[in-house]
Amino acid sequence: MMKKLLLAAMVATALGTVPISSAVAADIVVRVAPPPLRAERVPPPRRGYVWAPGYWNWRGRNHVWVNGNFVRDRPGYRYAGPKWVERDGRWFMERGRWARGDRDGDGVPNRVDRAPNNPRRY
């Protein structure tokens, strides 16, 4: 069993990936920086949906572009698209997620905003 784990770690390192603990096996960690983001033509807004921008995903040995698309809106949440972050020479992919926070987009977190649903307040 130990020989198999060691062999898998050596193969993964040779391919540019870094083995990570099984507790966070869904995370993607690689040694290869993603290419620059592509320019996308964003279609007109759709009621009840937000635009999730395209991103570079890791597929085995290289980065593959995933086109942007609309995702159903979640009132009271803000969508943060996927992004790559470099730490100590390794690239970590942070998946897209919904975050609670600024409902009206005025820059004031809802927990301290006296009018959290008013995007036109000054």
What is the per-residue pLDDT across 45-83, written as a single tens digit (0 to 9) for each? 999 999 999 999 999 899 999 999 999 998 878 888 999
What is the per-residue pLDDT across 5-33, written as a single tens digit (0 to 9) for each? 444 545 454 444 444 333 344 578 999 99
Distance of CA 91 to the CA centre of its chain: 12
The structure's pTM equals: 0.62
Categorise residue 57: left if φ over 0, alpha if ψ from -120 to 50, beta otherwise: beta
